[in-house]
Amino acid sequence: MDQKVPTGEISRSQDGARSVIATHFRNILVWPIHLVATGDAASTHDHAGVFAKLGPDNPWREVEDEFTGDPAEFQERHYHEFVTFLPPAQRFLYGQGIGRKMDGTSGESPIKVMRRSDIASVRVVLTPNSEPIDLRIAHIDLYFFYDIDIAILIVEVSADSVPLIVAQDLMLRLGRAYPAWWDKSGEPGHCPTAVAWISHSGEVMAQSDYEDRVSFLCHVGQHRAPRVAAHLEFLLNPLVPHYSEKPGLLRYRQLEYYRMPQMAFLALDDPDLLARGDYVRLALANGPGDGSPLPYTEHYLADFEAKYCYDRYFEKRPDGEWPGTRYMSCGHALVVTGDADNAFFMDETHGVLSSFRHQHFLIFLIAHFHKAALLMYSDRLAAAVARLDVSNRDNLRGFRTQTRQALENFLRFTHRYWFQAISNQSDAHDLFALCRKHLEIDPLYEHIRQEVEAMSQYLEDEATRQQQESMARLTVVTTLGLIGTVATGFLGMNLFDHASLDPAQRAAIFVSVLLPTFILAFATVTRSQRLSDFLEAMANESVDFAGKARAFGRIFRRRRSDPS
């Protein structure tokens, strides 16, 4: 769809103000979700394989990557993307080639991408009484990661000739999983008034229900979890919301903020008209404004450029080598602005637009995948500890199993998916570091690592304690068994001539000795802890004999009242 975006009420409210147009606007929503597998799918590591087989009406199809076709048709754009990354990141993103036959690995990438192509555009009504805006759908993808209970929804939309204030409002409102609040008139806060998926034939396939306040409130009251808006639930089908009555092998739930992370590309007709306030609003995805005054205090924004902006190419040169490109990121958003008249900035094969849609998209994807995976591990560890009951041996055994699985999974995640640097190219390296810094990924990773180590240490301490208790019991049994050993040794002397007795008598004597010995040993083991405490009290020279007897009585009564 090549129609231009109507400006609607937003642009009319700005009559007389600057008229900044995004000749080309592109927005990529990146929404990580936590997968919860049930039934037969709970034991699999390949969620993508399960997802592909969910129902005959499943609109998603696996995307074959560019490496599976004829090598002679391998495109230069794909080559530029591939060589951007370091070898560990290349193996993660693309898998391995002939080398897999040498090291014995499968060679496949742990990433599987599913795509649905039945949706042509998305129609958005930003505010009440405003004209609808049609955005072209470039891709709707769902990324799965082998052995990780994470999926990431990708929705890439684009439009031409979009006023800056409309683009800012789209960035503010479009990627909302559910409303955070409603105003007095019932309008959902910071959400579009309506969002609809449009098919290739022009039919409305699904529409949002942000305005249904009662339904959202009831869902939270019943499930203690927010409900996903109807158009997003339709989009993710056949995935099923975890907190719903709908049946489904693969379910999902939210991991973090209800506002989806996003990337935005704005090719401006006159970037020189942008004020500092415009860049602040774009970098933080704050919504529309006229550039002045600043959305926050000057003191708060004193380090804005150093903290949020990557200005390596933010300068125009007469030769056009630098298109005045500015990269901005707050972690939640990655925004690129530049001159629409610059051919390199708009080049979809070699230029900034190509890098934005491919290399920089993968950088943003990896950063948010890392954070989502760490949040998933944190949630899993918290749930395991919450179910721990040290007085229940079966529960403790299950906790030990869960902890070992968590250690194993976290170890695989660290060695397979964890990268602190993914490229030596300056812009890719710096943008990845900027996103990681604002997402606070390294402190989160360290926190999860310490949690895993603490659980492992707890299990080791518990195993050591059990070994010490077993040794104490064996010591008591050995000590008391010494009496029987001496007695039987004494009886073994030639004091009695049992050898002259007939076999039946000797068997009767053997049984008469065996049974009391067995009963004594069994009683000693069952009372070994009490006897151990008694022996410890006996060994205390500062306590007299009567005191020791009273101490043993107290120990016995306490153990009897508390068998654990």
**Position with higher pLDDT, 477 vs 12:** 477
Helix axis angle, 359-386 relative to 393-417, nearest 10°?
A: 170
Position 160 scores a pLDDT of 96
**Position with higher pLDDT, 98 vs 359:** 359
Tell me which residue has tokens 């005191």.
547
- The H or E element containing residue 154 is strand 148-163
Split at pLDDT 50, 70, 90, the class of 458 is confident
Position 141 scores a pLDDT of 96
Q: How does the average pLDDT of the chain come out, rounded?
A: 83
Average pLDDT over residues 95-101: 60
Position 6 scores a pLDDT of 42
Give residue 302's region: left, alpha or beta (phi > 0; psi -120 to 50).
alpha
Do the beta carbons of residue 27 and residue 78 sit within 8 Å?
no
**Per-residue pLDDT for 198 more than 60?**
yes
**Per-residue pLDDT for 1 more than 50?**
no
Split at pLDDT 50, 70, 90, the class of 399 is confident
**Per-residue pLDDT for 13 more than 50?**
no
| Three-class secondary structure of residue 342 per DSSP | coil
pLDDT digits (tens, 9 = 90+) for 22-41: 999 999 999 999 998 887 77
Q: Which residues of 163-201 are buried (b: 16+ CB within 10 A; e: fewer)?
A: bbbbbbbbbbbbbbbbbeebeeeebbebbbbbbbbbeee
Tell me which residue has tokens 């559910």.
178
Split at pLDDT 50, 70, 90, the class of 389 is confident
What value, to the nearest 5°, has the Cα angle with vertex 272 and ends 330 and 329? Answer: 10
pTM for the full predicted model: 0.81
Using alpha carbons, list the distances in angstroms from residue 115 to 48, 96, 442.
11, 23, 31
